[in-house]
Amino acid sequence: MRKIEQEFLNLLKQQAAYQEATMLTYWDMRTKIPNNGVEQRSEVVGFLSEKQHQIETSDQMKYFIDELKDTTEDGVIQKAVEECEENYERNRKIPIAEYKDYVMLQSKSEAIWQEAREKDDFTLFQPYLEKLVDYNKRFAEYWGYKDNKYDALLHNFEPGVTTKTLDQVFPELRKSLSEMLTKINASNSKPDPSVMNGHFPKNDQEAFTIDVLNEMGYDFSSGRLDETIHPFAIALNMNDVRITTRYDENDFRMAVFGTIHEGGHALYEQNISQKLAGTPLATGTSMGIHESQSLFWENFISRSKAFWENHYKTFQSYAPKNFQKLPLDDFYRAINEVKPSLIRIEADELTYPLHIMIRYELENALINDEVSVGDLPGLWNEKMNEYLGITPPTNREGVLQDIHWAGGDFGYFPSYALGYMYAAQFHNTMNKEMDIHKLVSEGKFDPIRNWLTDHIHQYGKMKKPLEIIEDVTQEKLNPDYLVNYLHDKYGAIYNF
């Protein structure tokens, strides 16, 4: 390796070190930190983020980009240079003092959001959210955009996808989901959700989900499971990928399916090629592809009949008495009940994308100055009623339920719906190469995880999201696979 290439990699390792320290700080703030520690910790986050920003936009980084982008013959270094050049060009447009202030605001806002959520008081959070929105509007102007200001933010999470794409795909998907929801509501063959009732101790839920995570291939020697208000997965590095969950002792589904969801994220990060370690390529290529992995395991695997054919007896060994004599078919239909939910992370498979569309429409309107932050609680409730036929009785169950806006993650929400469509497309392709139902019903997850690693995980950011979709499935994004999957599954459950 040439000396200049090694010097470039050394700079990237410095950058990765600050990134890891920042992620560890965020993990602590979301899981362990005492309330009085937030202010000082926010300053620490600001300091660490400032150091990352300085490296990303430094003259030294620019030197390496210019020297290596047309001369290196190393494929990893070439891709790393391309990634660094994009980050350099975007981030240098933001004044460093402004960036530091924004990062400190993010960490403070998350703490205030938690307090506002607990007290069900949107006015506590509103001034922080107004500042976050203003920052994101300015950043969008700094970065530039062609047709829609929101595209500049969407690019941070799903490169290559624009509002034009979303505004074509989402209405078609909504129409199909609404038609199925009408048939489900009219069905005379509905599951009995009362069979889910019963106190299910947290420790027993945790024990069952740990069993499942081990079977999926989550490496606990390179990760851990903790409890938090809003579940998340976070990768400090490929050898330290942590997941969190939230327990409800009156409804095991939140923790079981939520933990498997975060486990899907973690498998992605744990199985990136080691040759990418220490570079900005050593992470998922986009939030949409990331969500495709979590939703693949949560919905296409763990909510399937095949999964419970294999795992129901194990589940019953941990579950309370009312599950011991419950027939598998009744259990399977009950966990897949379609019923509009106030809370996104508790939503069923079919109505879940509608939650995403509501958030997308609201934040798109916010960024384009079509609505104000103060309008959000009322608009949220109106859209919930329009899309799902229910109205949140409190802001805790409405506009305050998600952490994303508190963290400044505008442009993130569409990734969930895109990831769901990606997952269906991957599932369709995988099923042509192996019998997924048979493997899952036999508890054989290794071939499934290995296929995902070979086709998706190992590449990290070596490939762009739309490149992965086309390479793996031999076609562009196609929402029909998700519609067909949902129609087949719920047509059988609800007999339509």
Cβ-count burial of 75 within 10 angstroms (0-12 exposed, 13-18 middle, 19+ buried)? exposed
Cβ atoms within 10 Å, residue 49: 22
Q: Which residues, other chains included, contact 246 with Cβ-Cβ below 8 Å and sequence gap of 6+?
A: 227, 228, 229, 230, 231, 254, 255, 258
Q: Which of 5, 50, 56, 262 is catalytic?
A: 262
Q: In what order do the strands lie in the sheet with 225-227?
A: 225-227, 240-245, 233-237
The dihedral over CA atoms of 249, 251, 254, 256, expressed in degrees to the nearest 10, equals: 80
Q: Which residues, other chains included, contact 145 with Cβ-Cβ below 8 Å and sequence gap of 6+?
A: 151, 152
Q: Which residues, other chains included, contact 472 with Cβ-Cβ below 8 Å and sequence gap of 6+?
A: 425, 426, 429, 455, 456
Which letter, b or e, does each residue of 264-276 get, where b requires 16 or more Cβ atoms within 10 Å of its Cβ?
bbbbbbbbbbeeb
Q: Clarify whether 262 is annotated catalytic.
A: yes
What's the rounded Cα separation, in Å, for the pair 134 and 138? 6
Looking from the CA of 379 toward its CB, the CA atoms found within 13 Å total 15
The set of catalytic residues is 262
